[in-house]
Structure 1
């Protein structure tokens, strides 16, 4: 740690400077690798091979992450384009680096000759992981196979970048009359852009989340929900071709490396280890969830008839629940059975109050102190910057940014971006971490501030949890910092923190009516908390579907035949089979997988991790925080130092055993869903 605040990052780049920074990185790393490759094998040591490699990553991570981050958030298209282009070049360069046989031979010599038990644990992990990376990149293959693999990896990099860019740039618009928006609250319509269409004033609605989710939840007319869902599910069709090609390329790469399929290749480095284990986990959980799901679908269908009767709409299609019905009828259950009105609830959760309350909670539980930096250098005027200090020691911890509202060309979802890893520099000093939370919450209107529905509060808490993971982690090597853990563990810390959003005292502290400042009323609060498991069957079946679909497309068929995936057809058939909800009308083709960013953004053959890590998150919360107190600083201290601080410097299972005092169990997770 350091006791004085380090300067925040520079965001004043031009497209030319972004390109030049990329060139500087490439030239510097190439020079280092050439130097290492020239070492005689009998002179190669951890100190002159692995340490320089790790140190170079430590020293360059900050600027590298900045220049590639612009593509997701900059309001300037020229900067976004330059950032996308430099990331493409950097990914191609890193593939070249990972395929350098001359460097591998030197690393392998160190690996074979070093007494690994004599190394410090994190140094030993750096050596073992670096050596494994080279082997997984095919350096043990004949030269012609190496070249083939290199070309496949470069193609995958191109495909993933183009896929993400297409999604980010897909700003589809649909217009609706006021009658078609029956059920939408006044604040949704206030200040909204309008157009004259066929002599009628119509409201412009986008497929961004702040428009999409409210309409799918509240619009009473099925035709309205259906039209917007159709627009959302027919964005960037070119991504289907990119995804299908990526699946083929991944399978070809895995085969070259001697793995039966891409899923086996990926899972080698995960906690789950094998596709068989993942499939068994998901299938077993699906069996437990299906009875709940069928009961919930029956409720949806009963409410569907009532809603259509009240509107005087025909019952054509009644008895089938479609993708555009899911959020609407889940909301009907909340309102009818629990008397929870999301529109009433959100009046008590204005953005500013939620942010203040949330930061207070994190400060208390984790022993931190946050200070907002006014007039900070940021990439867009709405972005906020905070300094983070350790409350007990007064040491400076790091920075984080909040970029919370949608805009054209911006990343479409909610996520935490690690901008700079905390790590040791060559002179022995410590560079502090920087993280950014990027989200798309509703913007303020002329009549009201940004108001958050309860599920948005939960999303906020979750993503801010990832930010805290990055801030509280302390590792020697940037490679292991923060969320650089196994992918099927990385969500567990933040999923665990979502439970705070169902604790009455916590919700009181987060709330304050945007007009009166009064906390959420006790009666409404109690009903909200009781609704925690509303439609838990269907909600979790939906997550299981994403995991099973991802596993299916990346696994070799049971009969051993070559895999040829029709993504559109497979998505549609699996969606209804697993979730009990039909994806769309038979006479209208859609392609929702074109927007499934996770499958092209690093979660390939790993989406199951969301459900897998839920088991760990439930155990951490119910076995410790729920027993010892959700605001208990001692429990928070243990969580900070056993779960967050190590980052990926040891296996996730070691984190869990240190925090829980034993290996994790599935029982708390099942109990949290009301299944036992």
Structure 2
């Protein structure tokens, strides 16, 4: 840490490094010096500075939020009304498309200025106003999506095919598509049917989730039935009158028991109870799927999966099935070897009792503890928050040519929020801004995530730069001891910083295709890609250092252990995920599916003969099929497979090579959502994407 006098002399803190030739210890010392100073310096000056290029307002009162929301709605209505009045024989880019594109670009940061306070504000009044503003704006957006008069005018312009350029063509097509996916090309009677179906679907989706949230079932166990659980875990459990421990069917109780309890019967009881929760949800899901199919047929699709996939990279249910089945088949050999190892472990510990799917978590953990010998508690001491952040800045700079510069005395919503400009390292051009709201405090959103605040775009011929917020709940310094991160949170930060870089580097002309508003199947690829740096020695040394002496990063042997641990039993784990993805895809492509029977059929087929755990009903407690991921559960694996191909072919031997990183920035990150993602990846790779690198990474590092 610098002295106080030295801090006062600095007006600007720049986080910018060049080259990788200096010693690791010296580099770490330099890196942490910059970031510790920049992140921990207390702001002395209350004078706030205007943020050039940003239309985001981060210091609104409750009343100002509501007034801004009303202004947003009024201005939007004004523009939509004007477009609706354009005579069909006078439609042109300048009076139909451009006004809507500029409205989107200008209003997005204003909308985000209203609603992001819900996640970060310390004021209950501001949070309530933010929630109310979101409700008003959402209602208006919904009404706009049903404006037949606006749709008719846009459709008339699209029919002329008088495009300014390819991106404008894509933008116009997306406007038409969104209206038609909402039923605007249907008769009024069918639109009413569609609206009624959507309302029913929303109600049932929330009912499914609410049923899971309201489930209060618990189990009672004696201490002898919980052998293997840490004492601190047992102390955290409520005790019943009869002296037994009360175990809820929540993941924070279930996961430790199925992973650590040495009593096989206890693991089976807990796994069975957890897998049969909310049996009422089976009928809820059946009704949901039926209504979704009705919706899709009204909109001209054979089934709900085709409706969902029509606008995603996967494109069709046939491609998803082919992808999942090929992946499962290619993993079978490795998964069989993995299962044999686990069965042998169980035989040594429990004798000849049959191996069940409920045994997987326990024996995977047993093997990992024996073979990898990773003490994640001790590992945490090598990841001080500030050092991890400085390392991520360094890696993003070297790979993508970015410079981070803190803006002193910035207008922020909390003293521990910091604002940085992000510029191109070679030209100095400002690309955007990032707010870092990283440290734990009560009432803030509890997970690490990225919130776009302003999308990059061209408005009136000028570039509108990107603004983004990174939220986390990182530990703060206590009694001189720095906040330390578990390794899982280090991976989360890499993942989310990739989203930040993607948002900032996106150079699409239209706000609709900019930032993170891209194909959901493509969105996670850069983030899954950057996670790979967490398992390679050079970047791991850049983000690690013993908290009492940061010049001592984690050792090479630990890096290697982490790499092997990452893919430990990955084939079996992935097969389990494929099982659920196939279930999701089948119920959304087929009518009147027997969901219980389907799971019983799929389970041994995918899981190498292991039957579904008797008495469970996975369809009743599978929330991804109810809300947010229906017919798209495959997407996470899809992104991971493509990210593995990119990493293996272009980055594996070029971890901090700016030439490769800048190619990725220009050919992938900068393209946004205006180009076909298949073409984006093929242009970068020089060939069609392949599944092979993903399989190879598991096979080489697996058993």
TM class by smaller structure: 0.7 to 0.9
User: TM (normalized to structure 2)?
Assistant: 0.79
Q: 2:356 aligns with which of 320, 332, 337?
A: 320
1:368 match: 402
2:331 matched to 1:289? yes
1:121 match: 166
Q: 1:263 aligns with which of 305, 308, 311?
A: 305
1:83: how far off? Answer: 4.7
Aligned 8 A contact 2:505 2:665 in 1: yes
State the secondary structure of the residue aligned to 1:488. helix
State the secondary structure of the residue aligned to 1:484. coil
1:44: how far off? Answer: 0.9
**C-alpha distance in 2 between matches for 1:383 and 1:183:** 39
1:423 match: 457
1:312 match: none
1:332: how far off? Answer: 2.7
Name the stretch that deviates more: 445-454 or 657-666.
Answer: 445-454
2:98 matched to 1:45? no
2:490 matched to 1:457? yes
**C-alpha distance in 2 between matches for 1:404 and 1:222:** 41
1:290: how far off? Answer: 2.6
State the secondary structure of the residue aligned to 2:469. strand
User: TM (normalized to structure 1)?
Assistant: 0.81
Distance 1:33 1:174, change over 3 A: farther
State the secondary structure of the residue aligned to 1:436. strand
Distance 1:528 1:648, change over 3 A: same
**C-alpha distance in 2 between matches for 1:170 and 1:8:** 44
Q: 1:619 aligns with which of 642, 645, 669?
A: 645
State the secondary structure of the residue aligned to 2:192. helix
Aligned 8 A contact 2:356 2:611 in 1: no
Aligned 8 A contact 1:367 1:637 in 2: yes
**C-alpha distance in 2 between matches for 1:535 and 1:99:** 49
Aligned 8 A contact 1:71 1:79 in 2: yes
**C-alpha distance in 2 between matches for 1:171 and 1:412:** 23
**C-alpha distance in 1 between matches for 2:202 and 2:189:** 20
**C-alpha distance in 2 between matches for 1:244 and 1:442:** 43
State the secondary structure of the residue aligned to 1:41. coil
1:150 match: 195
2:511 matched to 1:482? no
Name the stretch that deviates more: 242-251 or 534-543.
Answer: 242-251
1:582: how far off? Answer: 8.0
Which segments of 5 or more consecutive residues in structure 2 lack a partner in the other structure?
1-49
State the secondary structure of the residue aligned to 2:581. helix
1:268: how far off? Answer: 1.8
Aligned 8 A contact 1:168 1:412 in 2: no
Distance 1:87 1:126, change over 3 A: same
Distance 1:618 1:543, change over 3 A: same
1:100: how far off? Answer: 1.9
Aligned 8 A contact 1:184 1:215 in 2: no
2:676 matched to 1:640? no
Give 1:281-430 correspondences, 5 Å limit.
Answer: 281-304=323-346, 319-322=355-358, 326-372=360-406, 385-402=419-436, 414-426=448-460, 428-430=461-463
State the secondary structure of the residue aligned to 2:421. strand
2:603 matched to 1:600? no
Name the stretch that deviates more: 119-128 or 438-447.
Answer: 438-447
Distance 1:74 1:250, change over 3 A: farther
Name the stretch that deviates more: 367-376 or 664-673.
Answer: 367-376
2:21 match: none
1:350: how far off? Answer: 3.3
Q: What whole-Å deviation, never above 9, does each CA across 1:280-303 have from its counterpart, x for those lacking one?
A: 111121112133223223323333
1:348: how far off? Answer: 2.1
2:536 match: 503
**C-alpha distance in 1 between matches for 2:245 and 2:411:** 39
Aligned 8 A contact 1:443 1:450 in 2: yes
Distance 1:671 1:589, change over 3 A: closer
**C-alpha distance in 1 between matches for 2:546 and 2:256:** 20
Aligned 8 A contact 1:74 1:410 in 2: yes
Aligned 8 A contact 1:230 1:590 in 2: no
**C-alpha distance in 1 between matches for 2:675 and 2:530:** 22
Q: 2:179 aligns with which of 120, 134, 150?
A: 134
2:587 matched to 1:545? no
Distance 1:530 1:382, change over 3 A: same
Aligned 8 A contact 2:109 2:453 in 1: yes
**C-alpha distance in 2 between matches for 1:387 and 1:238:** 51
Distance 1:237 1:332, change over 3 A: same
State the secondary structure of the residue aligned to 1:476. coil
Q: What whole-Å deviation, never above 9, does each CA across 1:14-69 have from its counterpart, x for those lacking one?
A: 55555544433333222222221111100111110011111111111113234344
Give 1:19-168 correspondences, 5 Å limit.
Answer: 19-72=66-119, 83-84=130-131, 86-116=133-163, 119-156=164-201
Give 1:200-279 correspondences, 5 Å limit.
Answer: 245-279=287-321
**C-alpha distance in 2 between matches for 1:442 and 1:178:** 33
2:635 match: 609
Aligned 8 A contact 1:487 1:606 in 2: no
State the secondary structure of the residue aligned to 1:650. coil
1:73: how far off? Answer: 5.2
Number of residue equivalences: 650
Aligned 8 A contact 1:88 1:161 in 2: no
Aligned 8 A contact 2:505 2:669 in 1: yes
**C-alpha distance in 2 between matches for 1:206 and 1:78:** 35
**C-alpha distance in 2 between matches for 1:335 and 1:204:** 25
**C-alpha distance in 2 between matches for 1:156 and 1:363:** 45
State the secondary structure of the residue aligned to 1:400. strand
Aligned 8 A contact 2:440 2:476 in 1: yes
Aligned 8 A contact 1:88 1:157 in 2: no
State the secondary structure of the residue aligned to 1:371. strand
State the secondary structure of the residue aligned to 1:550. helix
Aligned 8 A contact 2:212 2:621 in 1: no
Distance 1:658 1:440, change over 3 A: same
1:592: how far off? Answer: 6.9
1:11: how far off? Answer: 4.1
1:656 match: 681
**C-alpha distance in 2 between matches for 1:661 and 1:523:** 35
Aligned 8 A contact 1:46 1:114 in 2: no
Name the stretch that deviates more: 64-73 or 528-537.
Answer: 64-73
**C-alpha distance in 1 between matches for 2:547 and 2:296:** 54
State the secondary structure of the residue aligned to 1:347. helix
Name the stretch that deviates more: 263-272 or 291-300.
Answer: 291-300
1:563 match: 592
Aligned 8 A contact 1:338 1:527 in 2: yes
